[in-house]
Amino acid sequence: MAALLERSDGYYAQFYDESRNPKRKRFSLKTNRKRTAQKLLIQFEDDYLEEEFDPWMDDPWSYDGDQFEEIDLEAAKNRYLNRKRSDGKTENTIRTYREVIELLIDEVGQNTLLDAVRSSEVRQFIRDTSLAKATQRKRFNQLKTFFRWCRKEKLLKENPLKQVEAPEKPDKLPKAITREELKEVCEAVRDDYAAKRIKGHVQQGGLVWRIPLFKFAYYTGMRGSEIARLRWEHIDFDKGLIYIREQKNRKEQTIPLNSKAREVLEDVERKDPDDYVFQSPSFDGKERNPKWFRENVSDAFREARKDAGLREELSLHSLRHGFCTALAEAGKSAVVIKEAARHADISTSMRYVHMANEQLKSDVEDAF
């Protein structure tokens, strides 16, 4: 949240949010009296929690001025969308904002003043029982951004979302691949390679080099982008470690090179230390665009999944989900899964434990 800092020239408020850049935002409270500073800090914190003040964007001493412009909801929508467009938002994103706000306009009336929109109307609009949880969350989040912008632009005196609780998050379970499904994907790649090889449409070793990549992703839980950057020098066979460079949280970390992953690498041609571990026979060079490589491999996985006739929900990332699920089904704790998969929050790891427990309940039910 916020901390009170004492400096030689007085007291400062410091807000922290690891998702923002910079993570810490500090500003002077313009007082040398601790009691006054504490009162000011509480007020800033309250406004921050009510989303009426953003220390990263707002001037602490002018954000709560009294000058407001009277404007109707339709005009506010148009001004908001123009700002999003000038900020470089894509047309798809802008269309999503427009759809939600226009639905709200239909609900409260075309010529309704922005400041006349009531919390009860917004609550009813968001919590429409005919809507799925995901749609309710979408409406809440879109309006949260919209009304907050209106407050910042002095178009709105009181945020109608202030008295509206966020809808519950939809229950989303990870779309994990099973060992049997992984086997079928690999067989589909082999079949495709054999057919194209006979016709001379692919060089020797083409396509099938993806099989060890898919297996390695499943046995290590590494992300596609991490595998795209993996070089032989990042693997310490003596210590049994894999060094993850430039991972999602931008930190370097090590994970175990387990026996299954090591076994997969035995089928991969070992090259120079600075060569990429997984590459097609036609690749010639020491550098690649990891993003493009990851996207190409993801497309290849999707094609193999289609050829194998498997669930449409499976993607390359399902291999990582499969790794975490396998740990949960083996009875490993959320703490172990968090460390193995390098999750930022243990709540992410808990999803796999919950999913495994649901499977256990189903298995027990079947037994009786």
DSSP 309-365: T--TT--TTHHHHHHHHHHHHTT--HHHHHHHHT-SSHHHHHHHHHHHHHHHHHHHH
pLDDT at 335: 94
Residue boundaries of the structural domains of the chain = 2-49, 73-163, 179-367
Confidence of residue 360 (pLDDT cuts 50, 70, 90): low
Q: Distance between CA 112 and CA 128 in Å, rounded?
A: 20
Q: Distance between CA 79 and CA 76 in Å, rounded?
A: 5
Q: Distance between CA 352 and CA 202 in Å, rounded?
A: 39
Confidence of residue 367 (pLDDT cuts 50, 70, 90): low
Confidence of residue 219 (pLDDT cuts 50, 70, 90): very high
249: pLDDT strictly greater than 60: no
pLDDT at 65: 56
pLDDT at 247: 59
Average pLDDT in the 280-292 region? 90
Residues in contact with 314: Cβ distance below 8 Å, sequence separation at least 6, in sequence order: 175, 177, 181, 305
- Percent with pLDDT over 90 in the chain: 61
- The class (CATH top level) of 73-163 is mainly alpha
Q: Distance between CA 290 and CA 318 in Å, rounded?
A: 19
Residue 222 has what DSSP assignment?
Answer: -
281: pLDDT strictly greater than 70: yes
pLDDT at 286: 87
Average pLDDT in the 310-336 region? 94
Confidence of residue 19 (pLDDT cuts 50, 70, 90): confident
Residue predicted with more confidence, 366 or 186: 186
pLDDT at 357: 78
366: pLDDT strictly greater than 80: no
Q: Distance between CA 103 and CA 108 in Å, rounded?
A: 9
The domain covering 179-367 belongs, at the CATH homologous superfamily level, to Intergrase catalytic core (1.10.443.10)
Average pLDDT in the 332-361 region? 86
pLDDT at 123: 94
170: pLDDT strictly greater than 70: no
Confidence of residue 224 (pLDDT cuts 50, 70, 90): very high
Q: Distance between CA 51 and CA 159 in Å, rounded?
A: 9
Q: Distance between CA 315 and CA 33 in Å, rounded?
A: 58
pTM: 0.55
248: pLDDT strictly greater than 70: no
pLDDT at 139: 92
